[in-house]
Amino acid sequence: MDHPAPRSPTLSDPAFDLFGPVTPDRPVILSVPHAGRAYDENLLAAARVRPLVLRRLEDRWVDLLAHPLIARGFSVLVARMPRAMIDLNRHEREIDPAMIAGLPRDVPLQSSAKLRGGLGLFPRRLPGAHELWQRPMAWAEAQRRVEMVHRPYHAAVARLMAAARQAHGHAILIDLHSMPPLPPPAAGQAAPELVLGDRFGRSASTRLMTLAADVAQGLGFGVAQNHPYAGDHMIDRHGRPELGLHAIQIEIDRALYLDAALEEPGPGVPRLQALLVNLAEAMTAELPRSGYALAAE
């Protein structure tokens, strides 16, 4: 099933589609790094598992939630390549060496808890799927994916952030994700439906996090901050509040907008679209330029 965006991309690249102006006409920019669905034949042929298993890595259809923002002319960057190919929310050196054939000895790699759990730059395994791939990937292929997808996507985010700051005095990145339904934090408590992450205050002004939580709670959503998701490479890399560059990750419970099987868009899509419009508009109007220097301290 296809769900086309309300307008054509301003720019298309193998790594992404950019909707809206190249120089954002608001300080708010949206990034959707895990909704890519362009699976090529070589990727599927290399897998040990069925395509349905690889699609479990996606933030299924979360890009649909950004369609009203695209219609309103916000700058929205949507990944085209699937997370199974490369994870844009990981550092480009966050690589499991066991996945690579011909890895040069002098390449500095970066470890992390996510990588050790099988979800590094190149995802290796999922619960119920111990190994996703038939054999290790050639180092040349790993480099090709970084150069074709990872670097262009992050360069586009950086350009949009710099252009927004130049035009408006500050830039705010909303990095949009979806999550499996969470368990309740304690008996008698409701599970969070949204998790806002700012790397525990390192990637955005506290005022912006408070605003986002207030907007979501005012619309009836249960909100948690930085637990269990504090944000990862995307907001860590692009959020520099002391420089007027703010970045917040938003994780949305998939059960809120998908069908009962968590496969296809469900009846909750309009409510979540309205949430994102309200968040983006509130952040756009929040603070004058002079307010951000103090807010980031």
Beta pairing class for 11-12 and 16-19: antiparallel
Task: List, for residues 100-136, the tens digit of each pLDDT value.
Answer: 999 999 999 999 999 999 999 999 999 888 899 999 9
Q: Which parts of 168-244 are beta strand (E)? A: 171-179, 194-197, 223-225
Residue 148 DSSP one-character state: I
Q: Is the separation of the CB atoms in 7 and 19 below 8 Å? A: yes
All structural domains of the chain, each given as residue ranges with its CATH number in brackets, are 11-42+60-92+146-295 (3.40.630.40)
Closest C-alpha to 121, from 102, 149, 140? 149
Strand order, beta sheet including 28-32? 11-12, 16-19, 75-79, 28-32, 171-179, 245-253, 194-197, 223-225
Task: List, for residues 61-92, the tens digit of each pLDDT value.
Answer: 999 999 999 999 999 999 999 999 999 999 99
Specify the pTM: 0.94
**Percent of all residues in the chain with a pLDDT value above 70, rounded to a whole number:** 96
